[in-house]
Structure 1
Amino acid sequence: MIKIITDSSADLPKELLDRYDVAVVPLKIQLENEEFLEGINLTPKEFFVKMFSSSELPKTSQPSPAAFAEVFNKFEKNDELLCLTISSGLSGTYQSALLGKDISNRNVTVFDTLAGSLSHGLQVVRAAELAEKGHSMEEIVENLAEYRKNMNILILLDTLENIVKGGRLSRFQGSVAKILNIKVILEGINGVVEMKEKIRGTKKFHKRTIEIISERKADFSDTIFGITHTGNEDDAELMRQEIIQNFNPKDVIVHYMGATMGTYAGKNGMIISF
């Protein structure tokens, strides 16, 4: 039997993890001299409350190889295990999973999603659905590689405050962006994050996002969208409604963003994946 494992950065709601019986290996978060395990002793909601009240950015780190091996070894020896990780371009988690495979005594395939947040999570759901339908490991990995190639990842930054805190932008540039109400759309491409557009004003920002989505496909009826947010549930709900009204997709999953991507998304950040 094929079993699915992921790391916590997939940002999947608990009901979907339970529905597909997905095992999760948590990333580690260091915040104000305290260490937490993502989703275990710190919920996303608690994380953002702590982060927004702190002058320092939190630090995230990948699970250890031993943590992966421990989860792998909980399965039966005759199970085939498929572990999907956050992009190797964003984290060392993929390498940890490979090392965990080597020190475990289980049959593990490790798959690099080249994505983060729900763009990673949607691949986990796809893998679980295919396994449920009885596809072989080879068929699932082949299908995932094609699905991954066509994944769109739009990262919407309402503020550049955390980019400034992280040293990727000067305080002067950040102040100018705030004064001019400049918003930023980044895009996940081949496992790394790249600048796409800078937009002035919130209304134009949201309108342009919908335009970008419309440029990607003509028919979204078989498409599942993922929206993650950093506590701005109203914004995420408005975007969900816009996507449903404009594109009539198969489904829209909305959930909190985890610490890995949320650290740089900052207040009112969103990631749209499809």
Structure 2
Amino acid sequence: MVKVVTDSTCDIPLEIARQLSITIVPLYIQIGAETYRDGVDLKPDRVYHELVHGQGLPKTSVPSPGDFVTVYNNLAAETDEIISIHLSLGYSGTHDVAKLAQSYIGGKCRVEVVDSNSVSVGLGLIVIAAARAAQEGKNLDQILDIIHQTVSRSRMFGKVDNFAYLFKGKRFRLTRGLILLGKISMALGIKLLGEVYDGGKIRSPMLLIGRTMALNRLRRWAESFPGVKEIAIAYSTVIDEAEMLAERLEPILSREHILITRLGCVTSTYVGPGTLVIALI
């Protein structure tokens, strides 16, 4: 059976990763003089405490080539086909590190490294689709086709309560117009929404006052795409907002196909408290 590998920015709940035999390679986060593995040694609550009360943003770094080589070698004892799906190059060099590790494996196992062109639950839905295909017995080339189809039709939208984290984090490609909107949202204390695409670009930005208007806007975005098969919602600090959004989306898709999860440590670092992300395929 094909084995599926991804990184910790996928924000897939650990129980789902276990059920689907997904191997997650953690990125690293530095807080002060200490370095932690995302989701292993560090949980999101600590990150949010540092964001609000710390002296500066935590720093993140990619896994080492050795981290990937170890994972690939361990899995090569069970399979001769591995697919490794990662966050977009627009956010991080993780994909390139995985490619480097791939070159060390040689001919003992075929390893394919894929740029998802996404992050968080956008990446997560792509990885889950690949893992389900693997469990159905599809081969590596068939799974690659499924991934490319899924990447092309996936969409991701988000709401941030504090634009400062996007601006300071420097992981999103912000235009001058978007920076101006973000500063207005900060000055007025209102929410900034938009579609995240192409590895960190943001389009269709808008300012909305209040939770209800923001959730309704996210619902309307989801409604505008026909044939949605899966939806994932990731929250930073307010799970009630995720549940409320899921209720609004049930006329579009049954609840069993709507996943709610929490943003992980790395993704949380760059979006801050009060953020809500929705991905659909």
Do the structures match in fold with TM over 0.5? yes
Whole-Å Cα distance in 2 between the matches of residues 80 and 247 of structure 1?
33
> Partner of 2:196 in structure 1?
188
> Partner of 2:270 in structure 1?
264
Quote the offset at 1:52 in angstroms: 2.6
Whole-Å Cα distance in 2 between the matches of residues 228 and 108 of structure 1?
29
Q: Are residues 1:213 and 2:222 paired?
A: yes
Q: Comparing 223-232 with 144-153, which one deviates more in the overlay?
A: 223-232
Alignment check: 8 A CA contact 1:225 1:249 kept: no
Taking only aligned residues, the RMSD between alpha carbons, in angstroms, comes to 2.3
Quote the offset at 1:58 in angstroms: 1.5
Quote the offset at 1:117 in angstroms: 0.5
Quote the offset at 1:192 in angstroms: 2.5
> Partner of 2:29 in structure 1?
29
Q: Are residues 1:16 and 2:2 paired?
A: no
Letter in 2 for 1:209: L
Alignment check: 8 A CA contact 2:157 2:195 kept: yes
> Partner of 1:51 in structure 2?
51
Whole-Å Cα distance in 2 between the matches of residues 173 and 123 of structure 1?
31
> Partner of 1:83 in structure 2?
84
Whole-Å Cα distance in 1 between the matches of residues 84 and 182 of structure 2?
38
Distance of aligned partners of 1:182 and 1:151 in 2 relative to their CA distance in 1, 3 Å threshold: same
For structure 2, the 5+ residue unaligned runs are none
Whole-Å Cα distance in 2 between the matches of residues 116 and 39 of structure 1?
16
> Partner of 1:136 in structure 2?
139
Aligned 1:105-254 pairs, distance under 5 A: 105=106, 106-166=109-169, 176-202=184-210, 203-217=212-226, 219-220=227-228, 223-248=229-254, 251-254=257-260
Query: What is the TM-score normalised by the length of structure 2?
Result: 0.88
Letter in 2 for 1:235: E
Quote the offset at 1:173 in angstroms: 7.4
Quote the offset at 1:244 in angstroms: 1.5
Deviation string, structure 1 residues 92-127 (Cα, Å, up to 9, x no partner): 000000001112343211111111011111111111
Whole-Å Cα distance in 2 between the matches of residues 40 and 76 of structure 1?
23
Quote the offset at 1:246 in angstroms: 4.7
> Partner of 1:103 in structure 2?
104
Quote the offset at 1:9 in angstroms: 0.8
Identity over the aligned pairs, expressed in percent? 25
Residue 261 of structure 2: SS of its match in structure 1? strand
Letter in 2 for 1:234: D
Quote the offset at 1:57 in angstroms: 1.2
How many residues are paired up?
271
Quote the offset at 1:254 in angstroms: 1.0
Quote the offset at 1:191 in angstroms: 2.1
